[in-house]
């Protein structure tokens, strides 16, 4: 038997005005401060005004919309969690909410903010000299300079310690870099690249150092990776470095940047943003199918009146709610300075896995119409293929969690 609730979807008692929309059945809204919600709403307005009307076209034509960069800068979203140097100094929770709203628009646009802020700017902010920070951070926060972060290589993805890019110190102190990087977001449009290179013996994780490389340095070449089936409104690139000569002061000098813990500290920032971001894509997929299901009639009944549809919507809502709760727990810990990298792995693995399942389920519920660019879920699902892979695959994060649970590293057959 079908009973009808005359209230609109999402108008349940206590959640009438939840900024998270109809998915918020447990009053998550009350866990956020007015400032946090205001920030989320302004990012949502930016997405509604500048991204939603155009994203299907950008995605189809594989265009990264550079014109969006000043808008992101105007809201203070570039390096927003950093202090000083023109950065907004926002909290981790605010940063997470912004990532979530941006990714409700498209993962590629959220990735721009992550690569610029969490990777390139964080590397400079955490590990750079005062001169490096003064030179690059203010224009990067203003969107006048774009940065990229080169860690991954054609043969070194999950295992960055095996990188082959070398930096050799010359008599007189200059450095010469040779090698290649792959899957580097924004490299073709970047003004500056933070390149991680081996200064010691091959495979020596402690020999890895970071270098600040203006992309107009002779020998630096970036090329966009063509024919992607995911993150099409975003740029990922190959970089080749051929005898790139840098002055002595191009190295990131801080002790925190000596060895692989230098780039990993930046990956923690980007992984943290993903935990929130992907829940935005999941929420947008859920809302798309909730709307569609209320309008689309089959067998004389709106799809949302079918029990199987409601069961799927309920499962989606549970996972989105749990995903936001997890993100919020980690965000509050980050703001308190107590966030452990293992907890970031928990969030990244869980929320990516659930978000992609939700986006795929939403596509299925849209039927044939769901494979067109008129509906977001398949675009989200395709994008999330990249998001679940970059910044640590599911397997890497499962093994980080496994090591924390058992005390045994199982990354290699020899049990490292």
Which residues are designated catalytic?
A: 391
Instruction: Name the DSSP class of 153.
Output: B
The binder of ligand TGC chosen from 37, 164, 261, 291 (CB under 6 A): 261
Token match 């060895």: residue?
259
343 binds ligand TGC (CB under 6 A): no
Strand partners, 196: 210
Shorter beta-carbon distance to ligand TGC: residue 19 or 411: 411
Cα→Cα distances 359→204, 353, 370, Å: 40, 10, 11
The binder of ligand TGC chosen from 26, 40, 51, 115 (CB under 6 A): 115
Shorter beta-carbon distance to ligand TGC: residue 42 or 389: 389
Site string for ligand TGC, 143-182 (x = CB under 6 A): -----xx-xx-----xxxx---------------------
Q: How far apart are CA 71 and CA 43, in angstroms?
A: 10
The binder of ligand TGC chosen from 7, 41, 206, 245 (CB under 6 A): 206
391 binds ligand TGC (CB under 6 A): yes
272 binds ligand TGC (CB under 6 A): no
The binder of ligand TGC chosen from 260, 274, 279, 290 (CB under 6 A): 260
108 binds ligand TGC (CB under 6 A): no
| Of the candidates 48, 51, 106, the residue with the CA atom closest to the CA atom of residue 382 | 106
| Of the candidates 274, 276, 281, 296, the residue with the CA atom closest to the CA atom of residue 361 | 281
> Contact, 124 vs 139, CB < 8 A?
no
Q: Cβ contacts of residue 401 below 8 Å, gap of 6+?
A: 342, 345, 346, 349
The CB-of-22 to ligand TGC minimum distance in angstroms stands at 32
197 binds ligand TGC (CB under 6 A): no
Cα→Cα distances 90→94, 299, 345, Å: 6, 51, 23
Q: How far apart are CA 261 and CA 215, in angstroms?
A: 24
Q: How far apart are CA 238 and CA 105, in angstroms?
A: 26
411 binds ligand TGC (CB under 6 A): yes
DSSP reduced 3-state for 197: strand
Shorter beta-carbon distance to ligand TGC: residue 44 or 181: 181
Q: Which segment (31-39, 285-293, 321-329, 385-393) binds ligand TGC by CB under 6 A?
A: 385-393
Contact positions vs ligand TGC (CB under 6 A): 111, 115, 148-149, 151-152, 158-161, 183-185, 205-206, 259-261, 264-265, 267-268, 341, 390-392, 396, 400, 409, 411
């Amino acid at each position: 038997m079908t009973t009808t609730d005359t209230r609109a979807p999402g108008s349940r008692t206590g959640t009438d005005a939840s900024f998270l929309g109809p998915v918020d059945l447990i009053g998550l809204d009350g866990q956020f401060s007015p400032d946090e919600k205001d920030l989320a709403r302004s990012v949502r307005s930016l997405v509604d005004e500048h991204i939603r009307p155009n994203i299907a076209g950008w995605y189809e034509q594989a265009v990264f919309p550079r014109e969006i960069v000043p808008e992101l800068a105007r809201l203070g979203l570039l390096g927003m969690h950093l202090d000083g140097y023109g950065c907004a100094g926002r909290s981790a929770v605010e940063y997470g909410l912004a990532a979530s709203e941006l990714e409700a628009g498209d993962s590629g646009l959220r990735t721009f903010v992550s690569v610029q802020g969490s990777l390139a700017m964080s590397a400079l902010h955490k590990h750079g000299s005062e001169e490096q920070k003064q030179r690059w951070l203010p224009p990067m926060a203003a969107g006048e300079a774009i940065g990229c972060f080169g860690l991954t290589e054609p043969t070194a993805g999950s295992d960055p310690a095996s990188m082959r890019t070398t930096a050799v110190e010359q008599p007189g102190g200059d450095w010469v870099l040779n090698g290649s990087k792959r899957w580097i977001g924004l490299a073709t449009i970047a003004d500056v690249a933070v390149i991680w290179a081996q200064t010691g013996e091959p495979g020596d994780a402690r020999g890895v150092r970071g270098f600040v490389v203006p992309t107009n340095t002779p020998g630096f070449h970036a090329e966009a990776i063509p024919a992607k089936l995911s993150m099409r409104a975003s740029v990922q690139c190959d970089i080749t470095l051929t005898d790139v000569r840098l002055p002595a002061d191009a190295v990131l000098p801080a002790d925190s940047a000596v060895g692989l813990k230098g780039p990993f500290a930046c990956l923690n920032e980007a992984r943290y943003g993903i935990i929130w971001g992907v829940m935005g894509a999941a929420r947008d997929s859920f809302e798309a199918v909730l709307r569609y299901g209320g309008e689309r009639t089959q067998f004389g009944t709106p799809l949302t009146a079918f029990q199987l549809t409601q069961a799927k919507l309920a499962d989606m809502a549970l996972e989105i709610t749990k995903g936001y709760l997890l993100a919020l727990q980690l965000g509050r810990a980050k703001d308190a300075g107590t966030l452990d990298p293992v907890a970031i792995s928990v969030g990244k693995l869980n929320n990516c896995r659930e978000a992609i399942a939700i986006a795929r389920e939403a596509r299925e519920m849209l039927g044939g119409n769901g494979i067109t660019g008129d509906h977001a879920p398949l675009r989200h699902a395709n994008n999330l293929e990249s998001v679940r892979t970059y910044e640590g695959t599911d397997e890497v994060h499962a093994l980080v969690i496994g090591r924390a649970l058992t005390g045994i590293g199982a990354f290699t057959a020899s049990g490292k």
